[in-house]
Homo-oligomer: A and B are copies of this chain.
Amino acid sequence: MLFMAQMQVNLPPDMPAEIADKLKADEKALAQRLQREGKWAHLWRVAGRYANVSIFDVQDNDELHALLSSLPLFPYMDIQVTALARHPSAI
């Protein structure tokens, strides 16, 4: 089951660089693991913003929330979820 998540990252401007770097490295590692597992189906950068458009392929809403709230950057992100259904014109 697919969901679009639009994630905007808002790190505090005074966060020490080493903390930010650690958060980003952990986020990247988890994002790549979830992609390899097929849960994070697509991940695109929004041009000009510290934001992404993602497609998740999960069993249900609970798995989606568990996954998103486990992200290291979750406390610093504003996430909008859109439930996606099969489109009748999709091939």
Interface residues of A in 1-26 (CB under 8 A from B): 1-5, 11-15
- Name A's interface SS: mixed
Using Cβ atoms and an 8 Å threshold, which residues of chain B touch A88? 28, 45
Using CB atoms, name the residue of chain B closest to A15: B13
Number of interface residues of A (CB under 8 A): 51
Q: A12-B13, A82-B53 are in contact. Are A48 and B60 (CB under 8 A)?
A: no
Using Cβ atoms and an 8 Å threshold, which residues of chain B touch A11? 75
Q: Which residues of A contact B (CB under 8 A)?
A: 1-5, 11-15, 27-28, 31-32, 35-36, 42-50, 52-53, 55, 60-62, 64-66, 68-69, 75-76, 79-91
